[in-house]
């Protein structure tokens, strides 16, 4: 039997993965962290008894090698590989993955392979040994799931094999989804009235700019001590700056769907499925109003099903890295100056006086934070390289702004600039990159509506807003009505410009299934698998370090009900029915 050696492989690999993390110490800890490894080894033991020896040997080595492969992944992002992660680990992200194949990680992977090879010296278990094995399995399976509810493991308790198994969540009923769940629970929530801006973009050009992997907290515009976006800061002098804007999903593709279609994505869904969900995207609506529409992306449309999100959405011109070319290529795309140059040439080719709706999706800011030249920030750590990448992307924005000014279009253009999601650098235990958690470094993003010819000075809006409201807001600015199927207008048909306090809701399912809400100063994060939740008061605790659930049980329970009523457990068929009903 190789099952005991496989268990040893899983246990040693788990110890290597969690090394360096703050592990909660209690009698529950060994059961919580290792019960899934025991379960996986027990399942293999059962298969080993029925499979032919060559097949069981092949399966054994596949499991050993897969456990080894997960070591650099879990050490980097605090999660074993999941299906969404495996899907993302393709060509466009190869530059991000290769940098983690360090000598240290390769040595640890080799250790697991050597342990696996020890199986050739293992003898068949004797009856006493078999009884001990059965006792271990029974104890682990009895106490392990219970232990997981007593301590927070951040998902590192999962066996690499079992992490690939995703349990479906309850689908919300249509009545739940249609409920007015976004109404703020707070009477005194800030809700500035910006209705004077309605129609501001009528007859003007509109630029929608999505800043890649840009969290609000890293910009001087939001209080950072480092100036990494000087051109954006200058643009914001004539803008409404939203202090509390939240992305719907901390990943670019589904996040773009929520922006263009004003609809929430569903848990455990792939981007390709959204091609068939009814949608009235911003470019389609504006194209129907006489705008010329285009999207220029420094990355590649074949990444994670992006084609399904942008094709047939009303863009008359669609160009990515392949069409743009460029002076510098990476696995993820091309240099930003080349994309900006192509964008300006498209504007030059338009008939004189032609209004346009332009979407620009840069990639500067995405891991591994590479730039053509060294920047002013130290590059000995990732956050220094990240700041240089933001500065590099902002320089391209400056060229685009200057290009419009040189063409006499500065005062005839309205900008909507937002971060598609944030980026984490260990502010919370195990939180790196952007997709795995929904703390503010993951989902609190910059958002501004800039109009040098219309807004004389900067206006700060403190109310909570969600990027799912961007589509109806853009149409509101253009003086057009939003389609009835927009989920971002479900609260009495309002947009970001109205004085109506609302909740922002966000989720992730790349590793753990986490759903959160922000309402005034309050933010609740719930783990759908364990049922565990945390409540934070961001006015008093902006770094989200103090769980105040015990002091505010009724408030926490109310926000849990919001999550239940929101329909975030809805499947795609529910979204299709909902969209059809709202037409």
pLDDT digits (tens, 9 = 90+) for 174-191: 334 445 788 888 876 667
Scanning 211-364, the segments in alpha helix (DSSP H) are: 230-235, 252-261, 282-288, 306-310, 321-324, 336-348
Residues 150 and 187 in one domain: no
Residues 120 and 197 in one domain: no
Residues 323 and 399 in one domain: yes
Residues 509 and 558 in one domain: yes
Using DSSP's 3-state secondary structure scheme, residue 183 falls into: strand
The answer to whether residue 449 sits within a structural domain is no
- The answer to whether the bond into 368 is cis (omega within 30° of 0) is yes
CATH number, domain containing residue 569: 3.40.720.10
The answer to whether residue 472 sits within a structural domain is yes
Residues 366 and 491 in one domain: yes
- Whether the full predicted model's pTM is greater than 0.85, yes or no, is yes
Instruction: Report the alpha-carbon distance of residue 270 to residue 91 in Å, rounded.
Output: 18
Whole-number pLDDT of residue 373 = 87
pLDDT digits (tens, 9 = 90+) for 414-460: 999 999 999 999 899 889 888 899 999 999 999 999 999 899 999 99
Instruction: Report the alpha-carbon distance of residue 272 to residue 579 in Å, rounded.
Output: 17
- The pLDDT confidence band at residue 35, using thresholds 50, 70 and 90, is confident
Residues 411 and 429 in one domain: yes
Domain boundary pick from 132, 164, 196: 164
Residues 222 and 285 in one domain: yes
Residues 104 and 197 in one domain: no
Residues 35 and 117 in one domain: yes
Ramachandran quadrant class, 42 (left: phi over 0; alpha: psi -120 to 50; beta: rest): alpha
Query: Which residue range is the domain that position 192 belongs to?
Result: 174-444+455-581
DSSP for 348-378, written as a single string: HTSPTT--EEEEEE--TT-TT---SS--SS-
Domain boundary pick from 140, 164, 188: 164
The answer to whether residue 169 sits within a structural domain is no
Residues 35 and 134 in one domain: yes
- Token couple for 509: 């399912």
Whole-number pLDDT of residue 553 = 95
Helix (H) / strand (E) containing 461: strand 459-466
The answer to whether residue 450 sits within a structural domain is no
Using the structure block, give the residue that is written with the tokens 């091309």.
Answer: 334
Residues 212 and 142 in one domain: no
Straight-line distance from the first to the last Cα atom of the chain, in angstroms, rounded to the nearest whole number: 61
Residues 200 and 116 in one domain: no
pLDDT digits (tens, 9 = 90+) for 253-304: 999 999 999 999 888 888 888 888 888 999 999 999 999 999 999 999 988 7
Domain boundary pick from 142, 164, 186: 164
More confident residue, 110 or 241: 241
- Which are the contacts of 314, defined by CB distance < 8 A and separation ≥ 6? 281, 282, 283, 284, 285, 286, 287, 288, 293
Count: domains in the chain: 2
- Token couple for 24: 């909660």
């Amino acid at each position: 039997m190789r099952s005991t050696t496989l268990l040893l492989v899983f246990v040693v690999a788990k110890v290597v993965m969690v090394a360096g993390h703050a592990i909660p110490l209690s009698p529950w800890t060994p059961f919580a962290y290792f019960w899934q490894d025991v379960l996986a080894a027990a399942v293999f033991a059962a298969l080993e008894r029925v499979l032919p020896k060559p097949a069981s040997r092949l399966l054994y080595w596949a499991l050993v090698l897969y456990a080894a492969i997960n070591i650099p992944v879990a050490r980097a992002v605090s999660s074993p590989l999941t299906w969404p992660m495996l899907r993302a680990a393709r060509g466009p992200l190869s530059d991000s993955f290769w940098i983690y194949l360090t000598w240290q990680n390769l040595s640890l992977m080799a250790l697991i392979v050597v342990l696996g090879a020890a199986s050739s010296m293992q003898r068949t278990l004797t009856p006493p040994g078999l009884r001990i094995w059965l006792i271990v399995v029974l104890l682990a399976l009895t106490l392990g799931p219970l232990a997981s509810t007593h301590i927070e493991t951040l998902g590192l308790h999962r066996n690499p094999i079992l992490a690939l198994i995703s349990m479906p969540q309850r689908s919300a009923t249509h009545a739940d989804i249609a409920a007015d769940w976004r109404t703020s629970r707070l009477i005194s929530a800030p809700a500035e009235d910006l209705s004077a801006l309605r129609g501001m973009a009528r007859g003007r050009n509109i630029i929608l700019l999505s800043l890649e992997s840009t969290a609000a907290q890293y910009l001087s515009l939001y209080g950072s001590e480092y100036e990494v976006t000087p051109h954006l800061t200058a643009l914001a002098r004539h803008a409404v700056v939203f202090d509390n804007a939240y992305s719907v999903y901390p990943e670019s593709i589904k996040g773009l769907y929520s922006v263009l279609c004003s609809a929430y994505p569903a848990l455990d869904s792939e981007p390709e499925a959204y091609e068939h969900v009814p949608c009235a995207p911003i470019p389609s609506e504006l194209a129907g109003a006489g705008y010329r529409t285009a999207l220029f992306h420094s990355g590649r449309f074949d990444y994670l099903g992006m084609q399904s999100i942008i094709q047939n959405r009303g863009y008359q011109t669609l160009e990515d890295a392949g069409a743009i070319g460029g002076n510098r290529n990476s696995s993820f795309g091309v240099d930003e100056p080349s994309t900006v140059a192509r964008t300006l040439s498209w504007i030059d080719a338009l008939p004189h006086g032609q209004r346009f709706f332009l979407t620009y999706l840069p990639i500067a800011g995405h891991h591994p934070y590479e730039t053509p030249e060294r920047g002013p920030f130290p590059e000995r750590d990732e956050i220094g390289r990240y700041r240089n990448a933001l500065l590099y992307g902002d320089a391209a924005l400056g060229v685009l702004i200057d290009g419009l000014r040189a063409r006499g279009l500065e005062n005839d253009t309205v900008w909507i600039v937002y971060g598609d999601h944030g980026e984490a650098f260990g502010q919370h235990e195990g939180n790196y990159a952007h997709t795995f958690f929904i703390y503010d470094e993951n989902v609190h993003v910059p958002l501004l509506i800039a109009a040098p010819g219309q807004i004389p000075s900067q206006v700060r809006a403190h109310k909570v807003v969600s990027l799912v409201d961007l589509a109806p807001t853009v149409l509101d600015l253009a003086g057009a009505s939003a389609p009835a199927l927009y989920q971002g207008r479900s609260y009495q048909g309002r947009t970001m410009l109205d004085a109506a306090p609302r909740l922002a809701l966000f989720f992730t399912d790349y590793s753990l299934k986490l759903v959160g809400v922000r309402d005034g100063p309050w933010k609740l994060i719930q783990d759908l698998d364990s049922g565990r939740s945390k409540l934070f008061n961001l006015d008093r605790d902006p770094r989200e370090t103090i769980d105040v659930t015990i002091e505010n049980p009724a408030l926490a329970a109310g926000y849990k009900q919001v999550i239940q009523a929101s329909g975030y457990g809805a499947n795609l068929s529910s979204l299709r029915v909902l969209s059809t009903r709202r037409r």
